[in-house]
């Protein structure tokens, strides 16, 4: 409860290296993170484990990408279970995704070979999904590849 953006500045100064902040779910927090010295941000609700009523990461991603523009890379965590999920995140502006749960499931099932297999499955799903969208390069992905419901972005009251 006592942490502040000044603490981020303090850590950045002492660390000296790249500082990536994970757990950003609000556009204003994204801007404050950058102003405080973050080199990149990860949009994440930590798998919904912290506040089960928090908005999903994918829901707030477009607004956060718009808020920071080209100032930094925005990655997405939470909810990535397939190559299609990776495609959706990239199409909504993420530069990359994290796949912790798939990694852990693969590790638990088959050890190192399971991790390799999980990565292969996600890569193949992404490749097939891109082909079905008529895309060959992830850099070409955008909102035109998705059918986004009306009211998906915004539509909630901030206090």
**Catalytic site positions:** 46
3-state percent helix, strand, coil for the chain, nearest multiple of 5: 50, 10, 40
Q: Which backbone phi and psi does 49 adopt, to 5 degrees?
A: -75, -25
Q: Specify the 3-state DSSP secondary structure of 81.
A: coil
The C-alpha atoms of residue 145 and residue 135 are separated, in whole angstroms, by 9
CA dihedral for 77, 80, 83, 84, sign (positive or negative)? negative
Q: 63, 74, 52: which is closest to 28 by C-alpha?
A: 63
Q: Are 57 and 84 in contact (CB under 8 A)?
A: no
């Amino acid at each position: 409860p006592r942490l502040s953006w000044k603490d981020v500045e303090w850590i950045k100064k002492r660390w000296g290296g790249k500082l990536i902040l994970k757990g950003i779910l609000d556009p204003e927090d994204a801007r404050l993170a950058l102003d405080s010295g973050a080199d990149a941000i990860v949009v994440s609700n930590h798998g919904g484990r912290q506040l089960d009523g928090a908005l999903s990461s994918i829901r707030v991603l477009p607004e956060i990408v718009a808020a920071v523009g080209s100032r930094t890379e925005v990655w997405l965590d939470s909810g990535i279970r397939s190559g299609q999920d990776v495609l959706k995140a990239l199409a909504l502006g993420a530069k990359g995704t994290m796949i912790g749960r798939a990694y852990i499931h693969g590790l638990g099932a088959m050890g190192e070979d399971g991790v390799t297999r999980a990565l292969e499955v996600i890569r193949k799903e992404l490749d097939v999904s891109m082909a079905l969208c008529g895309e060959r390069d992830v850099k070409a992905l955008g909102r035109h590849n998705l059918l986004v419901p009306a009211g998906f972005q915004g539509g909630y009251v901030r206090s």
